[in-house]
Amino acid sequence: MDLNKKTYRKNVDGKDFSLEVSRIAGQANAAVIGRSGDTAVLATVVMSKADKPGDFFPLTVDYEERFYAAGKIIGSRFIRREGRPSDEAILSARLIDRTIRPLFDQRLRREVQVVVTVLAYDEKNDPDEPALLAASTALAISDIPWGGPVAGLKIEEGEDTKGFFAGTEKFVNMIEFAGKEADKATAEKIFAAAHENIKQLIDFQRGIMKEIGKPKADVTLPAGDPKLTNTIAEFIKPDLEEALKNKTVDELKGKLFEHLKGSGETEESLKIAEIVFEDEVDKFVHELALQHGKRADGRKFDEVRDLYAEVGLFNRTHGSALFIRGETQVLAITTLAAPGSEQIVETMETTGKKRFMLHYNFPGFSVGETYRSRGPGRREIGHGNLAQKGVGAMLPPMEEFPYTIRVVAETLSSNGSSSMASTCAASLSLMDAGVPMKKQVAGISIGLMTGSNENDYRLLTDIQGPEDHYGDMDFKVSGTRDGVNAIQMDVKIGGITAKIFAEALQAAEKARFQILDVMDKTLSAPRKELSPWAPKITIVQIPQDKIGELIGPGGKTINGILAETDNKVTIDIEEDGHVYIAGLDDEAVKHAVLRVQQITKEYQVGEIVEGPVVRILEFGAIVDLGGGRDGMIHVSELKNGYVKKVEDVVKLGDVVKAKIVKIENGKIGLSLKALNQQ
């Protein structure tokens, strides 16, 4: 059997990519195997045969990690197959979704599913790059109506600054950027370099499309009825500006549909009216900004909504903060724990521990809706990850602050960019907990309204409601007064130019400084003391060859220490010999520290030690040195001259000081005589 393989290759920015099209997964509308180095992914695209009822375009993107790709067998003892996608897989799926979605006609009601399956991972080449490339190529050569191709690449600038930029040959339409106080010039440089590389991958795909691309399917899209459109526009126009300002657009929509039903419009017309209404509101919001220089809520284009911040809301939590921007409210709670509370991360790409976690929640009540909580969805994971990147860049290293840190951001009310409010609340909460943050971190979202050409646009600072829903861009930036820590951008249009990117960064900086002023007035520096309810941690460094001795056979020694403290402490031992002893009871912590030091102490010849005599032998006395260690004073080392009986010099229970005179095979020889001769 011939698979009719066709393989296409391209080198961009020193990276080798290949795309393979064959009869593999032949029942999909298209399938492509993408490779980068020895990393390989399969991207398949499928479109349903009929429209799905609803008022939105039903696109789903799934990113399937396979443990075999990295040569791993992961899971519990009883379940050895992949389960729920990891956070990393969800973030990869979102990255692809946010890049390809704007290039579909949003009137499409056929279900479209893109599935990327990671087949091999070489631990060098990130699957995200070939995944997006293969998904784009599959859509481009299929019969599914789509406005691509797109491509994306990771770009790094030094150790701390990296980003994934994606887009078309003309625009960048998706950004995930992480830095550590990166300056605007560096971000702009990365943007430009990334887009040049993207253009090369677009040309690469166009060549493939020309050779093997299928004609696009003739899919019926809802067609506007000029008469219906005019009726809707005339009905809503007099009240729309006030409805936008007073957040009564849904009420206006309800009145419209009552009017249409009373006019005898058919069910089919009412379905089209849903789309027309949204289009007319979208058009009005754009005209308001571009032609009349006005925002829906009456603010200036660079105006941030009213700000409020408060810390220390609860006595028993380790740190807490409430941050409010307009109607958006986020409560952040910080919890500190011993190093042993780190999250163990074991995925296809990663095996390790996670010391800092920021979890974002978005309950229905925050937007006045009722729906069941089903755990964090893709949006929650994406927003939490963005806030985590922004704040995490300013955390002290483990050596300076040996704690596992978890922040939970509870969205209490949402009307625009709760993820950036979470960044502000989290930063304040961490400082309230006494975490020695290097600097305060704030975030803001910048929106965009575009017109008929590249130069016809308006940037909107601190977007809310209608500007988010009907606007063309959500450009989130977090950082300090000295630079940018994270950027995330989504668009609903083709993308943005380098000029818009630079201006959006500048607008975000201006707003960020305003927010930081309010945050600094609330709490300008980390608390000097931790909460009394947070564990106190003491670090003891022991020789690596003493780790086994501290643990003891079957954990007997270390469990013994825990029992001595009534289990009021935790003891975590790292491979490098760092021992972290944590607990709320200071005396229990001190006792555990002393016991660890005693057990692992390396004695030296000439050292002076002290302890009780615990055994009397014919030829000497045994002295307890603590920690299960002892030393022997030979009868000849008790004093100068002849000693008839050991008890003539020391008795059982006597506490004596002695000098170490020899150490052989772990046995310690002591001398009273040598000490007295000093």
pLDDT bracket for residue 343 (50, 70, 90): confident
Q: Is the pLDDT of residue 311 over 70?
A: yes
- Predicted confidence (pLDDT) per residue in 550-575, tens digit: 998 899 989 999 998 999 999 999 88
Cis peptide before 145 (omega within 30 of 0): no
Mean pLDDT of 593-598: 89
Cα–Cα distance, 402 to 336 (Å, whole number): 10
Range scoring the smallest mean pLDDT among 453-462, 471-480, 648-657:
648-657
If one compares 272 and 366, the residue with the highest pLDDT of the two is 366
pLDDT bracket for residue 78 (50, 70, 90): low
Mean pLDDT of 229-248: 88
Residue 518, token pair as written in the block: 């309010």
If one compares 259 and 38, the residue with the highest pLDDT of the two is 38
Domain positions in the chain are: 6-212, 226-290, 307-522, 536-600, 608-676
* Bridge partner residues of 39 (DSSP): 36
- Mean pLDDT value across the chain: 92
Give me the pLDDT at residue 134, please.
98
Q: Is the pLDDT of residue 23 over 70?
A: yes
Q: Is the pLDDT of residue 374 over 90?
A: no
Question: Which are the contacts of 527, defined by CB distance < 8 A and separation ≥ 6?
Answer: 319, 431, 432, 433, 434
Q: Is the pLDDT of residue 222 over 80?
A: no
Q: Is the pLDDT of residue 79 over 80?
A: no
* Bridge partner residues of 599 (DSSP): none
Which residue is listed with tokens 């999250």?
343
Mean pLDDT of 222-231: 82
Report the candidate in 62, 43, 36, 17 with the shortest Cα–Cα distance to residue 123. 36
Give me the pLDDT at residue 678, please.
60
Cα–Cα distance, 103 to 173 (Å, whole number): 10
- Claim: this prediction has a pTM higher than 0.85: yes
Report the candidate in 45, 145, 52, 135 with the shortest Cα–Cα distance to residue 95. 135
Residue type, 147: G
Residue 582, token pair as written in the block: 């944590």
Whole-number percent of the chain with pLDDT over 70: 99
Cα–Cα distance, 490 to 495 (Å, whole number): 9
Give me the pLDDT at residue 300, please.
96
Which residue is listed with tokens 């969205």?
411
Provide the H-helix boundaries in 457-554: 465-470, 498-522, 547-551
- Whether 536-600 and 608-676 share one fold: the answer is no
Give me the pLDDT at residue 416, please.
87
Hey, how many other C-beta atoms are within 10 angstroms of the C-beta on 9? Answer: 11
pLDDT bracket for residue 160 (50, 70, 90): confident
Give me the pLDDT at residue 434, please.
96
Give me the pLDDT at residue 601, please.
84
Cα–Cα distance, 661 to 642 (Å, whole number): 19
If one compares 279 and 323, the residue with the highest pLDDT of the two is 323
Q: Are 174 and 154 in contact (CB under 8 A)?
A: no
pLDDT bracket for residue 275 (50, 70, 90): confident
Give me the pLDDT at residue 502, please.
97
pLDDT bracket for residue 511 (50, 70, 90): very high
Q: Is the pLDDT of residue 582 over 70?
A: yes
Residue type, 269: S
Q: Is the pLDDT of residue 274 over 90?
A: no
Residue 648, token pair as written in the block: 């003539």
Alpha carbon separation from 193 to 17, 59, 165 (Å, rounded): 18, 30, 10
Helices 267-290/249-262 angle, 10° precision: 140
Hey, how many other C-beta atoms are within 10 angstroms of the C-beta on 645? Answer: 10
Q: Are 356 and 350 in contact (CB under 8 A)?
A: no
Q: Is the pLDDT of residue 628 over 80?
A: no
Rg (CA), the chain: 33
Residue 74, token pair as written in the block: 């992961």
Cα–Cα distance, 637 to 293 (Å, whole number): 97
Q: Are 116 and 136 in contact (CB under 8 A)?
A: no
Report the candidate in 483, 524, 491, 309 with the shortest Cα–Cα distance to residue 390. 483
Alpha carbon separation from 490 to 186, 254, 445, 474, 673 (Å, rounded): 20, 30, 11, 5, 80
At residue 558, φ and ψ (nearest 5 deg) are -70, -35
Cα–Cα distance, 162 to 153 (Å, whole number): 10
Specify the CATH superfamily of domain 608-676.
Nucleic acid-binding proteins (2.40.50.140)
Torsion region of 375: left, alpha or beta (phi above 0 gives left; psi -120 to 50 gives alpha): left
Question: Which are the contacts of 656, defined by CB distance < 8 A and separation ≥ 6?
Answer: 610, 611, 612, 613, 623, 633, 650, 672
Q: Is the domain 6-212 a CATH 3.40.50.740 member?
A: no
Residue 547, token pair as written in the block: 């780790």
CATH architecture of the domain 536-600 equals 2-Layer Sandwich (3.30)
Q: Are 126 and 41 in contact (CB under 8 A)?
A: no
Give me the pLDDT at residue 599, please.
85
Question: Which are the contacts of 436, defined by CB distance < 8 A and separation ≥ 6?
Answer: 396, 400, 401, 526
Class of domain 307-522: alpha beta
Give me the pLDDT at residue 635, please.
87
Whole-number percent of the chain with pLDDT over 90: 66
Residue 529, token pair as written in the block: 């003391």
- Predicted confidence (pLDDT) per residue in 170-213, tens digit: 999 999 999 999 999 999 999 999 999 999 999 999 999 999 99
Mean pLDDT of 472-478: 97
At residue 152, φ and ψ (nearest 5 deg) are -155, 150
Q: Is the pLDDT of residue 590 over 90?
A: yes
If one compares 499 and 548, the residue with the highest pLDDT of the two is 499
Residue 38's SS3 state is coil
